[in-house]
Amino acid sequence: LADALLVRRVQTGDAHAYTELVRKYQDRVFTACLRICGRHEDAADLTQDAFLKAFAAIHEFRGASAFYTWIFRIAVNLSVSHQRKQRNRHTVSLDGDGGENDSGAWREPAAADGDPSAGLAAAETRAQVAAALAALDAEHRAAVVLRDIEGCDYQEIADILELPIGTVKSRIFRGRLALRRLLEQPDPLTANRP
Amino acid sequence: MTEELHSELGELLSAYLDDEVTPQERARAEELLASDPEARALYEALRSAASAVRALPKDAAPPDLLDAVNVRLEREALLAGADPEATLQRHRRPPTRGALALAAMLAIAVGGGIYVSLQLGDASHSDMQFARRDTRSDEAFEGVENPSSRNQPTETLGPRGRAQPLADDAVATMQKSTGDEATGDRDRAMRPSSRGGGLATNGIAADSPSTWRAKEAEEAADDVAQVTVDMLARAGIAASDERDAFADAGSQHDSYEAESEGAASATRALRGPHEGKPKRGTRRSGEPAVDLLGVLPTQTDRYLLPYLPPRTFEQRLADGEDWSALEKHPLAVEPVQLRVRFASASEAHGFTDRIVSTFAQRGAVPVSVLAGDAQKDKAATARTSLVQRAAQDAVAPSASVVYLEGAPGVNFPNDPTTNSQVLARVPGDWLIDLIDESAASDPEAITLRIGNWTMQGAASARSMASRAIGPQTAELESEATESLVESRSPVGGFSLASPADSNGRESLVRESSLEPPTDLTEWLQWVQRVAEPDLARATPSDADGFVTTAGIVAIVDGPVEDLPGSRPRTAKHLITIVIDVRTDTSPAEQPEPVP
């Protein structure tokens, strides 16, 4: 069913319809949360929180934007806020301890039918990219994640982040540039953050 | 390259990489890349970074995430079960505002108009049983059933505990719109009453004028709470004895009074032994717990089923009413317009909020919006009136109520002030509720028009509506019939002179011969198929006088024929309601002349 219909059904008391919405978007929301917060467990919690928050406020959802834009806005805001708090506590993990590489969903095994070292190298590269991404400023990271992972266009990102498109454009550029510089470091996992 | 220039070029190249540039920007980017090695290096760095991120795997959510969300929702519901109002505050309000996705974008609305097209006045008896009937609506119906009572002082109850008196001489204020406008009984406006209520409340002790404003917020929440309590009562979520009482009410279709009392007792039981609303955060002794968990998983099915109209057209016929006369009654097709004004946008918003909420709670389920945006899609304004068709024909075999939604500017393509509308096909007696609810804003500003008749003021409007939907329509009919042929609804698209000739009728009837849809998705697809020919035919030149909205429907389990008290399939005792909210901030409008 269309999102608008599902939302309308939720608004009229149909909790099942909300389950459908959760099922439909949980993977995307989780991925976005994970890429922003960098920790599998936190991402799962943030995803839950986002859907619960959306449910609690569903009566305020008036359909001016798509549901996925709305849920992404909630999730991204939660994730960015969470990340700021984490950063303030200096507990951001870039060394894999409790991070995404600890997650079964995040880690990929070496290729079974290929060179085991190639699979390992690919996994290491991904870990480096993920670590560099996690080292970005939260606002830049959110913009990059929405663009390059979620595939949102600039207008959607502007809607989700509630920013002018010009700012979105700037954040994506600066995020990519910072990411590139981090990846050029000998070891981005230990590189200084921008 | 300066940093500023670097940033400017970088943003350009980054946007170019994403194909988010204008033609001019594209040309500039390509020129740069062709001529500037530094720009190429920067572009390559950006592309590389983007590729690296895009290569990251897209993770699946943990398999238990959905369950975890559900568990937390249920836990919240459980916690709120100790305080049903709190639950409503958090989760059960949805129908109120949410269903407004269309009409409620009307946040900026200050002036509001409600157009009610009365398809046929069969609502003098109870089509539904609502607990609230034990107060206000009973009076309304008594006024209809017993002509001698019409001139007795009665009260019309507004929302949030406010109440306005119903003028005892309301009938006398009815005047022809072509003549002088009735002024209503302004002196009695907003006088406090001993009772409160409204669409969402019932039997609530009134506050004094000096205190009700202070309690407005709380009462608004209570209104919402009461809606759901009533809904739950109708859904049978009550203690066993009360459920029995409710079941009795649902099965005894020979007596409206008995049904009303049965439903009322069920709701009273939910409220507790005392009349009046429970305070938030407290539960009275004897008040049964509301099993919110029990209703959550099966909400969709259960909240629709209670809508089993105990009085039907056939019963009216059995009572001696003449079907053919009813079919020909001008009020069957005559437009009814109810215009309401609000002092503020929030009031207007709250009004439509409550209306839509209550409709939804009663089973008028908002389902679909097929309309386009008139500003973006000219053809949208040219589509054949699905509203008209739906209102006249498109009650699905398994549907009891059609709820239609419009999109901003579509149904009133020539009215730039229109923001949005809600259209609903609902039992005729809801018109009374609409008037009562409207009276909460400015009872003097209410104008009800049926044909050439105009009533000014809530009391007059209520009286007129009671008569219009009741059997005492002969006097109206005798004077209104003549004007019928030339009448056009204030709602663009309702070509009322020849409803049977609407463009969509044939195709709809043809489609109706198909196997009836059995679920919501099917039904939605079915209607969309029906709409196709109209969409294909539409041309901008057709814009005038057509409406572009379709929607649907409350689905009931099983054939209608199997349901006790089911209504005729024609469902002509329903009215089509169009709620229109505008951004009109001008001073009080004078009623427009009826064409």
How large is the ipTM?
0.78
Q: What per-residue confidence (pLDDT) applies to B123?
A: 27
CA distances in angstroms from B458 to A21, B111, B122, B131, B433, listed in the order given:
43, 16, 21, 23, 11
Long-range contacts, A78-83 (Cβ 8 Å, 24+): A78/A33, A78/A46, A78/A49, A78/A50, A78/A53, A79/A32, A79/A33, A79/A36, A79/A37, A79/A43, A79/A46, A79/A142, A80/A36, A80/A138, A80/A139, A80/A142, A82/A37, A82/A42, A82/A46, A83/A36, A83/A37, A83/A38, A83/A138, A83/A141
Q: What percent of chain B has pLDDT over 70?
A: 15
d(CA A129, CA A142): 15
Listed range (A12-16, B44-48, B94-98, B213-217) with the worst mean pLDDT: B94-98
Among A3, A128, A163, A176, most B C-beta atoms within 10 A, so best to mutate, is A176
Residue listed under structure tokens 């709120």: B80
In chain A, the largest separation of any two C-alpha atoms, in whole Å, equals 56
The conformation of residue B426, written as its DSSP 8-state character, comes to E
d(CA A74, CA A80): 10
DSSP state of B555: B
- Of the residues B22, B44, B59, the best mutation for testing chain A's interface (the one with the most A CB atoms within 10 Å of its CB) is B59
Q: Residues in chain A, how many?
A: 194
**Nearest residue of chain B to residue A29 (CA atoms):** B61
The arithmetic mean of pLDDT across residues A23-42, rounded, is 88
Kindly list the residues from chain A whose CB atom is less than 8 angstroms away from the CB atom of residue B53.
129, 133, 144-145, 148-149, 179
Beta bridge partners of B156: B164
Q: Please state, in angstroms and rounded to a whole number, the distance separating the CA atoms of residues A24 and B351.
A: 33
Helix (H, G, I), strand (E, B) or coil at B214: coil
How wide is the angle at C-alpha B156 spanned by C-alphas B154 and B157, nearest 5°?
A: 135
**Is B509 strand, coil or helix?**
helix
Instruction: Indicate whether A39 pLDDT > 50.
Output: yes
Q: Averaged over B87-101, what is the pLDDT?
A: 30
Give the model confidence (pLDDT) of A103-141 as tens digits.
333 333 333 344 545 556 677 788 888 888 888 888 898
Give the tokens for residue B314: 């056939």
A:B CB pairs within 8 Å: 196
The mean pLDDT of B496-505, rounded to a whole number, is: 31
Best mean pLDDT range from A146-160, B256-270, B524-538: A146-160
Query: Nearest to residue B399, comparing CAs of B526, B251, B295?
Result: B526
Question: A175: distance to nearest CA of chain B, Å?
Answer: 9
Binary contact (B53, A133; C-beta < 8 A): yes
d(CA B116, CA B337): 5
- Nearest by CB to residue A58, choosing from B60, B65, B94, is B94
Residue of chain B whose Cα is closest to the Cα of A45: B65
Q: CA-CA distance, B345 to B111, in Å (whole number)?
A: 8
Q: Which of A13, A59, A125 sits opposite B97 (nearest CB)?
A: A59
* Cα separations in angstroms, A37 against A30, A133, A139, A145, B136: 10, 10, 11, 11, 56
Alpha carbon of B43: minimum distance to chain A alpha carbons (Å): 10
B64 close to B71: Cβ distance less than 8 angstroms: no
**Which residues on chain B are in Cβ contact (under 8 Å) with A17?**
300
Contact A145, B50 (CB under 8 A): no
Average pLDDT over residues B579-584: 42
Mutate to test the interface with B, among A8, A26, A33 (most CBs of B within 10 A): A8
Q: What is the C-alpha separation between B134 and B152, in angstroms, rounded?
A: 18
More reliable by pLDDT, B485 or A169: A169
Contact list, A62 vs chain B (CB under 8 Å)? 97-98, 100-101, 104-105
**pLDDT computed for residue B125 by the predictor:** 24
Angstrom distance (rounded) from CA B510 to CA B169: 49
Which of A35-39, A79-83, B123-127, B584-588 has the weakest average pLDDT?
Answer: B123-127
* Burial zone of A95 (CB within 10 Å; 0-12 exposed, 13-18 middle, 19+ buried): exposed
For residues A77 and A138, the answer to whether their CB atoms sit within 8 Å is no
More confident residue, A42 or B520: A42
Task: Give percent of chain B above pLDDT 90.
Answer: 2
Q: Does B543 touch chain A (CB under 8 A)?
A: no
Please give the span between the terminal C-alpha atoms of chain B, in angstroms, as a whole number: 71
Question: Taking CB atoms and an 8 Å cutoff, what residues of chain A touch B520?
Answer: 1, 5
Q: What is the Cα–Cα distance from B213 to B161, expressed in whole angstroms?
A: 10
Tens-place pLDDT, residues B396-418 = 333 333 444 333 333 333 333 33
Picking from B14, B463, B424, B94, the residue whose alpha carbon sits closest to that of residue A171 is B14
Could you tell me which residue, B441 or B149, shows the higher pLDDT?
Answer: B441
Best residue in A16, A28, A51, A62 to probe B by mutation, most B CBs within 10 Å? A62
Q: Which residues of A touch B7 (CB under 8 A)?
A: 170, 173-174
The answer, yes or no, to whether the previous bond of B553 is cis (omega within 30 of 0) is yes
What is the rounded average pLDDT for all residues in chain A?
Answer: 76
Q: What is the mean pLDDT of residues B345-372?
A: 51
Give A85 to chain B, closest Cα distance, Å: 23
Which residues of chain A does B95 touch, with a Cβ-Cβ cutoff of 8 Å?
11-13, 59
- CB A108 within 8 Å of CB A62: no
Average pLDDT over every residue of B299-306: 24
Q: What is the mean pLDDT of residues B473-493?
A: 31
Range from A55-59, B16-20, B74-78 that averages highest in pLDDT: B16-20
pLDDT at B17 over 80: yes
pLDDT band per the 50, 70, 90 thresholds, residue B1: low
DSSP state of A106: T
Cβ contact B49–A169 (<8 Å): no
Q: If you count them, how many residues does chain B have? A: 595
How far apart, in whole angstroms, are the C-alpha atoms of residue B408 and residue B418?
7
Find out whether B321 and B381 touch, Cβ atoms under 8 Å. no
pLDDT bucket at B155, cuts 50 / 70 / 90: very low
Query: Residues with Cβ < 8 Å from B396, sequence gap 6 or more?
Result: B516, B517, B523, B526, B552, B553, B555
Average pLDDT over chain B, rounded to an integer:
43
CB contact (8 A) between residue A61 and residue B101: yes
Higher pLDDT, B134 or B337: B337
Closest by Cβ to B15, choosing from A11, A51, A169: A169
CA distances from A18 to A166, A193, B218, B297, B361 (A): 34, 40, 28, 11, 18
Mean pLDDT of B50-67: 84
Give the Cα separation of B486 and A158 in Å (integer).
51
Cross-chain CB nearest to A180 (options B48, B101, B105): B48
A171-192 residues labelled b (16+ CB within 10 A) or e (exposed): bbbbbbbbbbebbeeeebbebe
Q: What is the pLDDT of residue B584?
A: 41
Interface test with A, best of B91, B354, B405, B419 (most A CBs within 10 A): B91
Residues 64-103 of B with CB under 8 A from A: 65-66, 68-70, 72-73, 76, 90-102
The beta strands (E) that lie in B245-369 are given as: 335-341
**CB contact set of B244 (below 8 Å; sequence gap of 6+):** none
Closest partner CB to B58 (pick from A19, A31, A61)? A31
**pTM of this prediction?**
0.37
B540, B389 in Cβ contact below 8 A?
no
Reduce the DSSP state of residue B14 to 3 states and report it.
helix
